[in-house]
Structure 1
Amino acid sequence: MDASLKLKYLECLNRMQGKDYLAAIISFGAAPTIKGRKPSSLIAFSGRRKNLFALWHCYKQEICLEFNLEYCELKDGAEIAIVLFYRRKMLERYLGNSRNLDFLNSLGYQEAVTLDEKLQLLKSRFALTCTHEVGIFLGFPVEDVKGFIENKGKNYLLSRYWKVYRNRERAELLFRIYDEATLDAASAVIRYSEGYNSMRD
């Protein structure tokens, strides 16, 4: 994202409060998923900044309905919630891909047949540690998830939305698509903020 646009977006974000602030955070953080370009996105809400944790619990149903997203709270502790936002049909298709399914089954997902069962198993495993298979749920190529495990996070070709170990060209294309979605989201937040403030003046 252009530096001046990013600064403007952050300035607008800082002026927001309550539900508007939470919606802006989700619209940006989950932009590729909202736009239907990525099966899911992961966002953490803490109590440190404008108490996003409390805002999430107050407005989550309303905002997810507005964005046409479903969610799974992988962690929901005292002061932090880690939430997977997803498009059901898109995520089902991605997890149903034979290579992805074989990888998940190798990690103990054989009995988790439905998407909801897979998400519940992911949640139970995520409670103990940030498990590697979360990358599959996030739409990362299985060879890159395996590469990350085999290389212990080192020796990658490229690192942006995830660490890339094979097919750099495909990853760069996807990154551009995701960047376009986040750029659109940032621009929408700026337009909303400026319109809202002009109405108040």
Structure 2
Amino acid sequence: MSRARFERSVAYHCAPALVGLKPASLISLSAEDYPALPRLAADYSRLLAARGIRMEVLCRCRRRFLLLVYRPALLERCLRSAPVAELLAETGYPVGDSCAALLRRLSSRITAGGAFPHELGLFLGYPPGDVAAFMAHGGSNCRLCGEWKVYQDVEGARRQFQKFALCRSALCTRLAQGRSLLGLLGAAEYPAA
């Protein structure tokens, strides 16, 4: 497992969360390629804590890990907003629980099997109206498909998608030039092995 490869994957898939444009991003990583991912995520979380960024394995099966990269303060604010809290309550999340408790509940819903918990979009900062419409329409009839399926504010979503693409490009370009993800985020470097 290469830390450089891990950083490139995280930068590409999670750039908007890493720079604070959204509260969280989710990435699926191969357990074969990253057998020590839980330890690696914990190490990066520790090194990035002062920058307000966490990494947490939400789910692990035999073949894959689902890694959540998030900004706890931003995610907490997002989950406490009235429309998000209302939709979470409608999908069975206890009102008023902490962000950590809501993440544990989400993790247990993912690992339980059965229907995928599409309320995950709320944790990723998708507009609650789009998440509700996705759940109501089973993912059909969206007006735009990009970072998420858009049912309401198409122009606002397009602008957001462009910001995400620019941020992803800038971060990945700097990594390709030899910089480390930790260095780009202003964190302490990973200890030498």
TM normalised by structure 2 equals 0.83
In the aligned structure 2, how far is the partner of 1:107 from the partner of 1:170?
Answer: 26
TM-superposed deviation, 1:131: 0.5
Segments of structure 1 that go 5 or more residues without pairing to the other structure are: 1-16, 194-201
TM-superposed deviation, 1:106: 1.0
- % of aligned pairs identical? 25
Residue equivalent to 1:159: 145
With 107-116 and 178-187 compared, the bigger mean Cα shift is at: 107-116
1:143 maps to a residue whose letter is G
1:64 maps to a residue whose letter is S
Residue equivalent to 1:62: 43
1:124-143 to 2 correspondences below 5 Å: 124-127=108-111, 128=113, 129-143=115-129
1:91-170 to 2 correspondences below 5 Å: 91-110=75-94, 113-127=97-111, 128=113, 129-170=115-156
1:32 maps to a residue whose letter is P
Greater radius of gyration (CA): 1
In the aligned structure 1, how far is the partner of 2:126 from the partner of 2:31?
Answer: 29
Contact 2:121 2:131 in 1 (8 A): yes
In the aligned structure 1, how far is the partner of 2:22 from the partner of 2:39?
Answer: 26
Residue equivalent to 1:5: none
In the aligned structure 2, how far is the partner of 1:97 from the partner of 1:79?
Answer: 35
TM-superposed deviation, 1:60: 2.0
1:45-60 to 2 correspondences below 5 Å: 45-47=29-31, 51=33, 53-60=34-41
1:184 maps to a residue whose letter is A
Contact 1:22 1:56 in 2 (8 A): no
Q: Which runs of 4+ in 1 moved over 6 A?
A: none
1:33-52 to 2 correspondences below 5 Å: 33-47=17-31, 51=33
TM-superposed deviation, 1:110: 2.1
1:113 maps to a residue whose letter is D
In the aligned structure 2, how far is the partner of 1:171 from the partner of 1:187?
Answer: 24
1:160 maps to a residue whose letter is G
Question: Helix, strand or coil: the match of 1:92?
Answer: helix
RMSD, aligned CA = 1.7
1:168-199 CA deviation, whole Å, 9 max, x = no partner? 11111111111111011221121117xxxxxx
TM normalised by structure 1 equals 0.80
In the aligned structure 2, how far is the partner of 1:77 from the partner of 1:92?
Answer: 27
In the aligned structure 1, how far is the partner of 2:173 from the partner of 2:101?
Answer: 37
In the aligned structure 2, how far is the partner of 1:111 from the partner of 1:164?
Answer: 26
1:83 maps to a residue whose letter is L
Q: How many residues align?
A: 174
